[in-house]
Amino acid sequence: MLKGKTAIITGGSRGIGRAIAERFAEHGARLVLVAREEDDLFDTATFIASRGGAAKTLTADVAVMDTARNAVALAREFGPNIDILVNCAGIITRTPFEQLSDAEWRSVLDVNLHGTFYFCQAVLPSMREAGQGRVINITSQMAKLPHPAASPSYEVSKAGMVALTRHLAYQYAPHNVLVNAIAPGSINTSLPKSMTEEARAKLKSGIPMKRLGEPEEVADAALFLASNLSSYITGEILDVNGGSLMD
């Protein structure tokens, strides 16, 4: 489905980002993976290479503007076009609103929202010139539904990604550049795995499907949005949450 395509994936070293990277590689995409964890990046790229895929890595912080430019330069070693951008890098904090420091507030927005902005700004002009492209922003159910255990900075950053997704979708639609987002709910990544059995059971009880989602299920949604199967979809925020939020 993605044979010959070049994709940049931020946060591609673990969790949902790694699952997306593996799924894209299975379908023929050549990857540039960007994250701060060098060992995790190496493990992901090695796994992909062992199955015949191609993945370059960039160990860097997406909150630094030059990271996006460097990722673009690395992607162009595969060829002139960057076909797919997935903004998956993100951080979350759980400090209550009244104790939230200015530094913590800014750090979350810098990674989640500003990092997405930097990568979109670095990639979208070339997609416009090529007359094709796909951008997929990984936001969150918490962009739409507040959660008492999350800091407001996380919810605000993800809501900002939703607004940015729709703005860019409208702006670039005439150029066949489609910009969509995925809003995962409770996914079985490192955070839920670290919970007690009691906490996990309580979390599952609030989901109509009575289970957590798997990173691979988010990856399948990303594959759909990256492929020609979604050729008439843009500006969409795709919920992947087992029915915990239906809108």
Asked if 188 contacts 215 with a C-beta cutoff of 8 angstroms, the reply is yes
β-bridge partners, 59 = 35
Write the DSSP string, 72-104: HHHHTTT-S---EEEE---------GGG--HHH
Please give the C-alpha separations between residue 45 and each of 40, 78, 210, 219, in angstroms, as whole numbers.
9, 15, 33, 17
Contact 144, 245 (CB under 8 A): yes
Residues 127, 82 contacting (CB under 8 angstroms) = yes
Parallel/antiparallel/unpaired status of strands 54-59 and 84-87: unpaired
Q: Which amino acid type is present at position 1?
A: M
Query: Is 154 a residue of the active site?
Result: yes
Question: Dihedral of the CA atoms 83, 91, 66, 19 (nearest 10)?
Answer: -30
For tokens 């299920």, what's the residue?
217
* Residue carrying structure tokens 């796994």: 47
Sequence-distant (6+) residues with CB within 8 A of 182 are 136, 137, 138, 139, 218, 221, 222, 225, 237, 238, 240
Catalytic residue among 118, 154, 170, 232: 154
Q: Give the catalytic positions in this structure.
A: 154
